[in-house]
Chains A and B, each alone.
Chain A
Amino acid sequence: MANEPAVALHEAGHTGAHAHPGYGEVRHHFESYAQQKDASTIGMWVFLLTELMFFGGMFMAYFVYRQWYPDAFASASLKTNLWLGAFNTTVLICSSLTMAMAVHSASTGKRLLLVGFLIATLVLGSAFLGVKAYEYHDKWVHHEIPGEHYECEGCVDAGHTSLFFALYFGMTGLHASHMIIGAFILLVLIWQSYKGKFSAKWYTPIELFGLYWHFVDIVWIFLFPLLYLIDRSGKGGIH
């Protein structure tokens, strides 16, 4: 931090909002486009930092209870559908690729490709949510939602399995809500891209949304092994 060069983006004589051709609007309190873009990018990263800690609290709870009740977690985890989980992981990774390609298309100024990749991302994201909804429904049918009617048929240490499902729903629910918010933002971005709002010189919203989308993907990359892949061999607890 100490060695970082001081901001020297000072351009004299700029007051009020002003537009550079192709750069979108530079808001009045910034000296230059570069400063504005830099600020937005740092802002997004700092936001993702808060998101990391937000999910971090739940991961904390997960690790504590898994440490205490390995058998309950192992047997409750077998109730999740490995194939659907792996399929959904694949879908989400595909959507991350299309999002990365969308950013790439934006940076090379290919408008139609950008729109196409954003739509692909939206479709894949919705597919993920669809599968997730199916899984939730399945849990509902089998009374595996913690609460008064909760039961865990054939589970080892069944008294403690509700903690697993509480965390399962808490974590995947929080993750899904981030996906849903992302899908709505995607709709807006698709519309704006189609209208030609972005150019190779200015596509900051696409880039920042890409960061958000990849972050949500990373959360799932951890949720998949932690929730679906405990002791699939079925030969005992983790300890």
Chain B
Amino acid sequence: MSASHHNAASHDNHEEHHVVPVSVYLGVFFALIALTWVTAWISTIDLGPLNIYVALSIAIFKASLVVLFFMHVKYGTRLTKLIVGCGLFWLILLLFIVMMDIWTRSWMGVPGR
């Protein structure tokens, strides 16, 4: 009835759904909780300009855990991975290209900016 816990290799098999063991969920869960409080704690320490990078790195790591394990992308098809990749690529495109404008506006030294 239920799929075996050990058939991690059957990526191409759409019929048989991969069942992630509960222990994985619990591991991810505790990591997420711990990282939440770690990031809250680190924010109270003055790291200068590094604070935002640390905070964002932790957030990206947490999000990756959710995407890979809770959303099953690690066990998903190549198409799912492609869609996730596309999303990230276009988001970065939007953020990076607009920031490109923001970062270079003052270079000309035109008043008002």
Total contacts A to B, CB within 8 angstroms?
Answer: 145
Across the interface, B51 reaches (CB within 8 A) one of A49, A109, A211, A231, namely A231
Q: Are the CB atoms of A221 and B63 closer together than 8 Å?
A: yes
Contact B29–A93 (Cβ < 8 Å): yes
By the criterion CB–CB under 8 Å, are A230 and B87 in contact? no
Main secondary structure of the interface of A (DSSP, over half): helix
Near B by CB (< 8 A), chain A positions 162-200 give 200
Instruction: Tell me which of A63, A97, A101 has the highest count of chain B C-beta atoms within 10 A of its own C-beta.
Output: A97
Contact bitstring A82-101, B, C-beta under 8 A = 1, else 0: 10011001100110110111
CA distance A49 to B51 in the complex (A): 29
Instruction: Tell me whether B3 is interfacial, beta carbon within 8 Å.
Output: yes
> A93 to B32, Cβ gap below 8 A?
yes
Is the beta-carbon distance between B86 and A93 smaller than 8 angstroms? no
Residue A225 is within 8 A (CB to CB) of chain B in the complex: yes
Interface size class on chain A is 35 or more
Q: Which residues between 15 and 61 of chain A lie within 8 Å of chain B, taking CB atoms?
A: 34, 37-38, 41-42, 45-46, 48-49, 52-53, 56-57, 59-60
Of B32, B44, B46, B83, the residue contacting A45 (CB under 8 A) is B83
Give bound CA distance, A45 to B55, whole Å: 27
From the candidates A97, A99, A230, name the one contacting B52 in the complex (CB within 8 A).
Answer: A230
Kindly identify which residue among A37, A200, A221 contacts B62, using a CB–CB cutoff of 8 Å: A221
CA distance in complex: A225, B54 (Å): 10
Instruction: Please give, as numbers and ranges, the residues of chain A lying within 8 Å of B32 by CB-CB distance.
Output: 93, 96
Is the CB of A238 closer than 8 A to any CB of chain B? yes
Question: Which of A108, A218, A233 is the one whose CB lies under 8 Å from B63?
Answer: A218
- List residues of chain B with CB under 8 Å of any chain A CB: 1-3, 14-15, 17, 19-20, 22, 25-26, 29, 32-33, 36-37, 39-40, 43-46, 49, 51-52, 55-56, 58-59, 62-63, 66-67, 69-71, 78-80, 82-84, 86-87, 90-91, 94-95, 98-99, 102-103
CB-based closest 7 A-B pairs? A225-B55, A229-B43, A233-B46, A232-B43, A97-B29, A235-B46, A232-B44
Mark A residues whose CB is within 8 Å of B: 1, 4, 34, 37-38, 41-42, 45-46, 48-49, 52-53, 56-57, 59-60, 63-64, 67-68, 82, 85-86, 89-90, 93-94, 96-97, 99-101, 104, 107-109, 200, 210-211, 214-215, 217-218, 221-222, 224-226, 228-233, 235-236, 238-239
